[in-house]
Structure 1
Amino acid sequence: MATGAECPVVARVRSVAARHPGRPALVTDAGRLTYRELWRQVLGWRDRCAALDLAPGALVAVLAGPGARWPAAFLGARAAGLVPLLVDVQQPVERTGALLAAARPAAVLRSEAGEAERTGEPAPRVLPPEAGYVVFTSGSTGAPKGIVGRAAGLLAFIDWEIAAVGAGPGTRVAVLTSPSFDVVFRDLLLPLCAGGEAHFAGRAVRAAPAAVLGWLAERRVEVVHAVPSLAARWLAADGSDGRVDSLRWTLFAGEPLHGRLVRRWRAAAPSTEVVNLYGPSETTLAKFHHRVPGDCGPGLLPVGRPLDGTVLSLVHPEATGPVGDGVRQIVITSPDGSLGYLPGTCGAEDAERLRYAPESGTTCFRTRDRGVLDDDGNLVVVGRLDSLVKRRGVFVDLARVEAAAAGLAGVTAACCVQLADGDVVLAVQGFGPAAAAALRRPLRTALGDGMPDRVTALPVLPLLPGGKADRRAVADLLDRKETDERRAS
């Protein structure tokens, strides 16, 4: 089987392994794997993949278990000229089945068992030579869409992050993300491309928010990537008032970041620098960054400025309704974006919004996000186009409601949704029913006519596997709650 040019990520890891063969590369509860041992495993997977005699560029599914065996399978597939899709075996069976059906892999690599076999798929996917991996979106705004990414794009971001945080041999980075989501590449490749240590949280830690801060401190983790909702849950669940003094860098992404959360996070990790990242999966990992100052206010924080080579355009929104002065739809053009969506996994409208130009190697993506530049020229993402909803003929901005709630004392998480009957309801975490209702007064001061119809308390906001708030689950939960209350009355 012809493998073509060497994958740039594989080439980087090979180079690091040659320079630091005896250093720890992957660290789990069960022990450590050195770079020499990791590279041997990569070569083993390369040979298993080659023995399958698949076409160059064939898509293969890597079933990722709870340990740290899947990185070698992923890198081995790339070394063999194949295009891997990471599938977290701990996610719901229904999602796994749906992803595999949509992906049509030519083979399955079972990382825990060390096995590789053809699927028998009659029409397996074969992707272009530039393809380096496939990832599916979380489905937070609809059905999950397959994205064909480039390994060169991964490495471009990782090189920026290595320089930004000063990562090098021995730097300890937490791996807390589900392998099914592209954020895991930040967790994994930052250390592996710098000679650092990737510390994998075990299943017990990932399933217990109260254990995360203690685990970070015990492992003396220096860099962590987090979704704001998930970090808020870690803080709320931790009852030890412990500190993570080792943490030097915290990089948030995936959701709006508010200064109130940053202040609470810095109280738990007093030595950390905080960076707010922004960039949809379609543009590869992140394309904007903002280093949060120590004296930040409690409100919504900017996502900052684009990485080198990335161009921001703010265009007239595709949605109707009031969006605010200077607020426009965000368009991102990048030389390091994806190749587009996996055919058959998205609608024509989505495909039109994401364009790849082979002749220039650039990707242009018209996001569904609304943004504005602040006085310092930093991009502020103020919400999504679909967060503007009509309530009894008048537009309400769900993102603005959430931002106002996040600025109130005691609110650890907030999610605003429109229910089936058209009412707008704000769900808050960290309050009892009476305390939640008392938030209406300060919210009315901030929102005026944009007030939600009701404020309700939930013990815990449902989260997607990647850590973002699960809006559809929140809406379904509130619809059922209100139906039950009407029946009871």
Structure 2
Amino acid sequence: MSHTKILDRWAGQVEGDGRAPAVTTPDRVWSRRELAEFASGLRAALAAGEGPARGGPVLVACADPGAVMATILACAAAGRAFAPVDVRQPAARWTAILEDLGPDHVVCDAAGRAALEGCDTGEAVRIDAEAVGAEARSARAWRVDDWSALGVPDGGYVYFTSGTTGRPKGIRGSLTAVAHFLDWEAEELRVGPGTRVSLLTSPGFDAFLRDALLPLCVGGTVEVAGSGGVPVGAALAAWLEERAVEVLHCVPTVFRTLRSAGLTAGSLPGLRAVLLAGEPVRAADVAWWRGLFGDTKELVNLYGPSETTMTKVFHRLTAEDAVAETVPVGRPMPGVEIRVLLAGKPVTGAIGEVELRTPFPLGGYLDGSAGGFREGDRFRTGDLGRLREDGVLEVLGRRDQQ
């Protein structure tokens, strides 16, 4: 899937059944048509505010996930880079991001405006997402031809690292790379029309693109847990059952809280797959889950840093992994190559640094620093790993102990 195919598929879903739910939150349900009209309004607002010297990145400062999704779609259609952020981030992080990104536009809702108060956004044009949304609902201006077969460039996106070890670093990514992942998960996990996919991720993390764009492109529904933080334990189990979520994406720390929810073999009847990423999975996690559900609810381990655009390696967890000393992260997705380097040379069976090669050029860091990027499509992750003789990768920690 190319970057424009994301828009083609989304437009096809809107045209096919505009009344179907696209996004469900505790506060409202966005139909496909409503979200499309919102995106059309934002796209027009971006074009109106461009001017002769504009066309640079768009900072997305919205707490409303529907507004974030609509802005992402609008930027993709305009060939503009977008940079979503968590509006709850501290002031120092706002300052660093604004200085490094230098946005031409800032799309914000009430929460974003409050967070940006006192911040220097330079000459960036501010777009009021709520005002655009209200106007779009009354104008009802959306045409499938305006969103299909577009010849716009891949403007990509920018996400910033956590900054826990220093100043946040902007990472450039491409929608072409996102499309590569979406194609894989839709086929591998049978995500299609009507599938309900969880969204527990903050807009400030690139996994938001996975959780939002996957169901939008295939005719599913994005199920948003709410703005009061990620539900855990019994609250998470209750939400999964109430919303009949079929595909759950989360980090292992959140997944483990379900152990206190009193689950039985008959719990979570709608759930059929849990995809874990961002942290190591433990053998005890696998043993507990499989002890309850066996093979009826898949547990999948995902691996891939933000620098290579989300997941690049995956592993369906089995009974063998429930007793493994190290739970593997698995084999590469189609088009991806894994190497483990020791003294700069590829090795098998020994511990070295994990390097990933992607089937598309990598965008690198916003500040131009090289970091682990090599040869345009390779990235040395800084993770220590071992490539087994059967081609399965185990990740064993960090070179820098981070």
Runs of 4+ in 1 over 4 A off after TM superposition: 54-57, 111-115, 207-210, 239-242, 266-270
2:122 is aligned to 120
**What does 1:38-437 align with in structure 2 at a 5 Å threshold?**
38-54=35-51, 57-111=55-109, 119-121=121-123, 129-204=153-228, 206=230, 210-232=234-256, 234-235=257-258, 238=261, 243-266=267-290, 271-298=296-323, 299-317=325-343, 326-336=350-360, 338-343=362-367, 348=369, 351-355=370-374, 357=376, 363-387=377-401
The amino acid that maps onto 2:25 is T
Alpha-carbon displacement from aligned partner over 1:34-59 (angstroms, at most 9, x marks no partner): 11221111111100111111557510
> How far, CA to CA, are the matches of 1:84 and 1:35 in structure 2?
21
Q: Is the CA contact (8 Å cut-off) linking 2:330 and 2:392 kept in structure 1? A: yes
Alpha-carbon displacement from aligned partner over 1:249-293 (angstroms, at most 9, x marks no partner): 111111111121123344566631011111111111111111111
> How far, CA to CA, are the matches of 1:19 and 1:313 in structure 2?
43
Which SS does the other structure have where 1:341 is aligned? coil
- Specify which structure has the bigger relative contact order, considering alpha-carbon pairs within 8 angstroms and separated by 6 or more residues: 2
Alpha-carbon displacement from aligned partner over 1:194-230 (angstroms, at most 9, x marks no partner): 1000011112352655421211111110001111122
Q: Which one of the candidate residues 12, 16, 32 is aligned to 2:13?
A: 16
Deviates more, 1:196-205 or 1:146-155: 196-205
Structure-2-length-normalised TM-score: 0.82
The amino acid that maps onto 2:317 is V
Ranges in structure 1 where 5+ consecutive residues have no aligned partner: 123-127, 358-362, 388-470, 472-489
Alpha-carbon displacement from aligned partner over 1:153-205 (angstroms, at most 9, x marks no partner): 10110010000110111100010001100111111111011100001111235
> How far, CA to CA, are the matches of 2:50 and 2:42 in structure 1?
13
Alpha-carbon displacement from aligned partner over 1:56-96 (angstroms, at most 9, x marks no partner): 75101011204432211221122222111001113334333
Q: Is the CA contact (8 Å cut-off) linking 2:349 and 2:389 kept in structure 1? A: no
Displacement of 1:105 in angstroms is 1.0
Alpha-carbon displacement from aligned partner over 1:375-424 (angstroms, at most 9, x marks no partner): 4320111111123xxxxxxxxxxxxxxxxxxxxxxxxxxxxxxxxxxxxx
2:140 is aligned to none
Structure-1-length-normalised TM-score: 0.68
How many residue pairs end up in the alignment? 363
The amino acid that maps onto 1:169 is P
Which SS does the other structure have where 1:329 is aligned? strand
The amino acid that maps onto 1:263 is A
What percent identity do the matched residue pairs reach?
39
**What does 1:472-483 align with in structure 2 at a 5 Å threshold?**
none
Name which one, 1 or 2, has greater alpha-carbon Rg. Answer: 1
> How far, CA to CA, are the matches of 1:236 and 1:132 in structure 2?
38
Which SS does the other structure have where 2:85 is aligned? strand
Which SS does the other structure have where 1:340 is aligned? coil
Check 1:240–1:310 CA distance in 2 against 1; reply closer, same or farther (3 A cut).
closer
